[in-house]
Amino acid sequence: MVWAAAFFWILISAPVVFFALTGVDQSIRAGYSIISQIISPVLAASLCYWAASAFLDSSIMRKVWRLLGSGVLLWGVGAILYSVYPLFNDGQETPYPWYSDYGYLLMYIPCLLAFIYFKQHLNRRIPNWGILMAVAVFCMAFVLAIYFYIEKLVQSDSVATYIVTLLYMFGDPILLGSVVLIASTLTRTAEVRAWWLVSVGFLLFYIANVMYTYLVLVGSYMSGNVVDIGWVLGFGLIGVAALITKTAQKNDLVKKSYV
């Protein structure tokens, strides 16, 4: 089942790249990319909730996977709202900020809480090199965020625009720094193997965000761009990690029943 899920995400991701490289009509590229950006997080969130159901109610990991699922689902809701606006407004571009941005931004809260609970579950000390690397990565990402958002921040014509832009400036750097902190505590044990996929998934998510912001800044982004694959595959890796966790937990319960 895990391999089937991995193949599925490769299957829905491939056309994003193929259409972009072969010059398929823009409306087809945009439509397919938007649909895949909705399917991927919604399905990944469902698998996260399913993985959570494999743990006891008192288990920290149950909370971890529920929070991850909630965060990913909130991003999916944002993607749905982003795609709905043009349908009901004669094809006009979704304004900024809009309700879709609140979905995107709210994602950070449950995901960061999931990292905190997972660290509590591991009960391992974060190594000094992990802290230093996380700080360095945060600073690098924050400098990029300032470069991308400072003009929009200065030109904000409303409190909502200012606050949303400010949250975007901090959101990705904090998320990326947190991913590095968690990754520094991971080992090669079966218990945390899936979390390497989660970490890579959020890394792809971050790269997609950065490339999207840059392309918007230079005025060359259109839905269906090859960078969209970062969101689709990023959530795909989180979904596959949830399946691996569900399967491992199920097998562990079977083994215990024979002991």
pLDDT at 259: 46
The CA distance from 178 to 206, in Å, is 12
pLDDT of residue 65: 97
By the 10 Å C-beta count (0-12 exposed, 13-18 middle, 19+ buried), 182 is classed as buried
The whole-number pLDDT of residue 169 equals 94
Helix 60-87 vs helix 108-122: crossing angle, to nearest 10:
160
State the pLDDT at residue 224.
Answer: 86
User: Can you give the pLDDT at residue 191?
Assistant: 61
Helix axes 229-258, 190-217, angle to 10 degrees: 170
CA 169/CA 235 separation, integer angstroms: 21
- Regions in the chain scoring below 70 on pLDDT: 188-191, 251-259
Distance between CA atoms of 37 and 98, rounded to whole angstroms?
18
| CB 101, CB 164: distance < 8 Å | yes
- What percent of the residues of the chain are helix, what percent strand, and what percent coil, each to the nearest 5? 80, 0, 20
